[in-house]
Structure 1
């Protein structure tokens, strides 16, 4: 960002993830996005004109008390096919869209998705199936490491 003027910076960045737009990319095919993946995620989940999905900062405390926390289980999945922050945002949204999920966090660097959920409302198997979608394959992390 050192050589960019402040006013031009937003226009030269992806509306979803904030990555720099390629100077050679055809504007008609991708428009305000760095890739078709970002464009598709924005179309599916929406993207604001000013904030990226990963920078929204919209974290709410559901006012859970200690008894609710006892029912929440933290499950880790290994997910093959994650390559970017866009993949992380997509898989987090897929998990958080499930009834019974209180939080999800993905990392393409570690190929891991952490899901906090109520096992009586959504099972780990159901989450594994949900996360195994459109090019991604999810495994319970302990199963994936046992096979390695």
Structure 2
């Protein structure tokens, strides 16, 4: 568990976080299956992420739901925590490198941005509408694709 307190980021993360931080209409949060205290420690103690931890408005975990991703209830909980009603779920962008998170968020009605680090393309066909809304190998490029998708208006 101590290794989680010294995680490093990919080289493209800093530029992506700068872009996110400069977007006034965004409310970025960390959303995790981990326990809140563990995730907080990991973010704060990370040499790479710690200095940029203030970019995130909140750390939301599934602790209160007592279910794990990709269960729809956890994404509904996320939406509630960020102040969105069901008709506003498409205003939420879940960004992940985990296919289960992409399919889970899409199944719950959210937009999903997939960080395809391997560059092999989307291969999960479990859910008919489970294909990522946008994808890229780099997080900084993914942020541009999201912005293009919403036509320059961060939501």
Query: Shorter-chain TM-score: which interval?
Result: under 0.3
Larger radius of gyration: 1
**TM-score, normalised to structure 1's length?**
0.24
**TM-score, normalised to structure 2's length?**
0.24
